[in-house]
Structure 1
Amino acid sequence: MRQASGTLRRETPGQGLHDITREVAQWVEAQGMAQGLLTLFCTHTSASLLIQENAAPAARADLERYFARIAPEDPTAYAHDDEGPDDMPAHLRAALTQVQLTIPLNAGRLALGTWQGIYLFEHRRRPHRRTLALHLIGE
């Protein structure tokens, strides 16, 4: 068994689902393992990770609209607004999704389905620099 760890940094232009599948797959490939398990961890409280539809942009837009409805930017609804009106809604959206993913590695490739992609879900309106920790264990 071997282990590898690394960091992926991604600039986000603002809110939305940002496809990071290619960057993650390139990092995994560079580790030279055939079988294993990848863990990704988002080190932020106002962004999250999702495995989601990668072919139909409308599916991603619907997800973004859904989260805007269930955690709206409403200054009268929250006490926490240290960084602006999108601050607390961003924390709620991250709490409702996930900050870590675990993906099997088979034959040197991430075991994603045909229509699955890995997304960094930015919940803040302004651009941010996000950091993901990657850990791969396998052989």
Structure 2
Amino acid sequence: MKKTLVVLALALGFSISNLNATNDITTSENLDKVSIERVEVSPLCKAVATGNVEAVKNLIKQGADVNAKSNGMSPIHYAAKYNRVELIKVLITAGADVHKYCDLGYTALNHAEKSNAKEAAQFLKRFKRKTV
């Protein structure tokens, strides 16, 4: 008798959990549209992210905009995020805006701190705006 009650209780428990699990099934009608967003990163930002100093210098000589955003971030944000201090110096010398915000509202210093890029953060703190 006890075995029968235990088996019935387990069966009831499984049926209730299966019933709840099937309530949120997505029908094939909702799967007709698939959106794919392709993100293109500029050659300058790619060169900065990979740490290719010569390519960055050549792109700047060819007239690449050092403040143009690519995927929501400017080249100095990429340099800060990937701890590329030498490239930060190159970009600042070429006229990059250290205080420019990315699309998420972060500065280069914020990106360096979030990414634990200690050398970049230490270098960028020199450019911190003074509040009066």
TM-score by length of 1: 0.21
Larger relative contact order, structure 1 or 2 (CA cutoff 8 Å, min sep 6)? 1
Query: When you count strand as a share of all residues, which structure comes out higher?
Result: 1
Mark the structure with the bigger radius of gyration: 2
TM-score by length of 2: 0.22
